[in-house]
Structures are given as structure tokens and as C-alpha cells.
């Protein structure tokens, strides 16, 4: 997933994406442990996407906290 595409999403959508990626990583790790994962690289890619999403959530949270109250 590209960072530009992630930045366009709202914080609520990012939290949903974070939950989806965590679930995907869990499933891939389980498949890897029992030897059924098709492509082990998928785990790495999912972890990177999760890190991107979490970073952008953090950036948006800090930006919202830095914004003065009463201003848009």
C-alpha cells in the first residue's frame, strides 16, 4: 500500500485498516508455523504496511493535538 493512498484516509478508516492488517499478520504467522504459507514475503509486506498505517495515525493525532482549540 502506498503512503499517499494511506494519507488520504480518515483516522477511523486507518484504525480499521490497522485491525485488518493485524489480523492478516496473525493468520500469515499461523500458516507459516504450520508450513502452509504460500509466500513468506507476504508477512514482511503486511508488517511494513502496518507500520506505515500506525505512523500516519500517529502523525495525524499529533497534528490534531497541535491545532489550537476552536480552529478548524
Please report the pLDDT score of residue 48 as a whole number: 96
Handedness of CA 19, 60, 8, 55 (dihedral sign): negative
pLDDT of 70 > 80? The answer is no
CATH number of the domain residue 11 falls in:
1.10.287.310
- Is 46 domain-assigned? yes
State how far the Cα of 56 lies from the Cα of 3, in Å rounded to an integer: 8
Owning domain of residue 8: 3-65
Residue 71 lies in a domain: no
Q: What is the mean pLDDT of residues 41-69?
A: 92
Residue 40 lies in a domain: yes
7-11, 35-39, 66-70: segment of lowest average pLDDT:
66-70
Residue 68: per-residue pLDDT: 74
Per-residue pLDDT reduced to its tens digit, 15-44 = 999 999 999 999 999 999 999 988 989 999
- 65: buried, middle or exposed (CB in 10 Å: 19+, 13-18, 0-12)? exposed
Domains identified in the chain, total number: 1
**Does the residue 57 lie in any domain?**
yes
Query: Does the residue 32 lie in any domain?
Result: yes
Amino acid at each position: 500500500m502506498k503512503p499517499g493512498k494511506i494519507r488520504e484516509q480518515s483516522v477511523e478508516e486507518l484504525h480499521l485498516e490497522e485491525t485488518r492488517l493485524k489480523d492478516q499478520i496473525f493468520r500469515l504467522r499461523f500458516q507459516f508455523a504450520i508450513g502452509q504459507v504460500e509466500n513468506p514475503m507476504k508477512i514482511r509486506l503486511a508488517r511494513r504496511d502496518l507500520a506505515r498505517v500506525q505512523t500516519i495515525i500517529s502523525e495525524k493525532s499529533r497534528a490534531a493535538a497541535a491545532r489550537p482549540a476552536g480552529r478548524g
